[in-house]
Amino acid sequence: MKILIVGANGQVGSAANQVLSENKHNEIFALTHKDLDISNRNDVFNLLTTIAPDVVLNAAAMTNVDLCESQVDEAFSINAFGVRNLAQCCEHLDAHLIHLSTDFVFDGKITRKYSEYDKTNPLSVYALSKLGGDQEALAYSKSTVLRVAWVFGNEKGDFFSWVLDGLNSGSLDSLIDNQISTPTYNFDIAEVLSRCITSRLFGLINVANEGETTRLEMGQILAEKLGIKESLKGITSESLARPAQRPNYSSLSTGLLTELTGIQMRSWQDALDDHIKRIAK
Ligand SMILES: NC(=O)c1ccc[n+]([C@@H]2O[C@H](COP(=O)([O-])OP(=O)(O)OC[C@H]3O[C@@H](n4cnc5c(N)ncnc54)[C@H](OP(=O)(O)O)[C@@H]3O)[C@@H](O)[C@H]2O)c1
């Protein structure tokens, strides 16, 4: 199977590249931002038509949530219009499109985990542009949209590596404790998307590790697992006055994923153990 990954250097893209490459029947074309800008429609059509993949994984996005507030055109151009380009090109090639959505499409006003059928209400430009991308992808019948939350697993650029740097340098003493979601390991997402490819599962599906938590608790548990003495205190997101608003609650339920695939997501703490082992190698 020919699988083309765009945004192949990112957290999800790099894990997917690794996991999908383990299957010797797969031929992977891993494209970074330098290789292909998904907002350039001509380039998308030219390159994809030349490669003629069976599957296109869109792991590309403008993910700097605060920057999207000031770079609105760019956010829409990548997160929404870029997905239109990929979806329409996949339709032209009859290829399976896999796209990634975000828990930030919700406003956090409910107190149970969000299902695939809950009403969205984006609070930021990032969230609105991502919702646009979901709609573009889902307009194509052979698309899978995996909605994920609080992704971790990138050694150099994820939340845990940022916390670790802060703890080691003594520059971090507080983390947000009034926002709750379901952290999700990039390699666990990659396993799910691999299954979506082999089982040709289409439509919107939530993917998240089990258990919900705050950023403060994530930092505390990381420190505990690594034997680091820490004295992190909780702060509110409002106290940071960041440009983009985030939902205070955005946990995702994974009942539909289990129903469709039998996959039972493990807890985020177990996934974190794997991540720690992986980065210690
Ligand atoms: N990270 C999270 O917590 C989180 C939570 C929920 C959903 N998601 C979604 O999950 C997906 C993957 O996120 P991630 O955490 O893996 O993001 P990431 O690590 O920031 O990776 C995104 C990748 O997209 C590339 N990119 C940016 N603009 C591009 C463009 N115009 N054309 C082609 N490539 C472009 C980036 O390359 P450069 O860096 O070189 O620009 C980067 O390699 C995204 O759709 C994101 O919205 C992420």
State the Cα angle at 140 between 136 and 145, rounded to 5°. 65
Q: Is 185 designated active site?
A: no
Atom of ligand 1 nearest to the CA of 157: 19
Which one, of 276, 10, 12, 274, lies nearest residue 164 by Cα?
276
Residue nearest to atom 37 of ligand 1 (CA): 33
> Domain residues of the chain, as ranges?
2-152+184-210+251-269
**Residue of 151, 160, 189, 205 best suited for mutating to test ligand 1, as the one with most atoms within 8 Å of CB:** 151
Residue type, 142: K
- Is 19 close to ligand 1, i.e. is its CB under 6 Å away? no
Q: Which residues pair with 176 in a beta bridge?
A: 235
pLDDT tens track for 39-95: 999 999 999 999 999 999 999 999 999 999 999 999 999 999 999 999 999 999 999
Cα distance between residue 244 and residue 67, in whole Å: 8
Confidence of residue 157 (pLDDT cuts 50, 70, 90): confident
Confidence of residue 245 (pLDDT cuts 50, 70, 90): very high
Residue nearest to atom 24 of ligand 1 (CA): 60
The CATH number that domain 2-152+184-210+251-269 falls under is 3.40.50.720
pTM of the model: 0.97
Please report which residue ranges of the chain form alpha helices under DSSP H.
11-21, 41-51, 65-70, 72-76, 82-93, 125-138, 159-169, 186-199, 215-226, 255-261, 268-280
Summary mean pLDDT of the chain: 97
> Residue 231: what pLDDT?
86
> Residue 206: what pLDDT?
98
The encoded tokens of residue 141 equal 């019948």
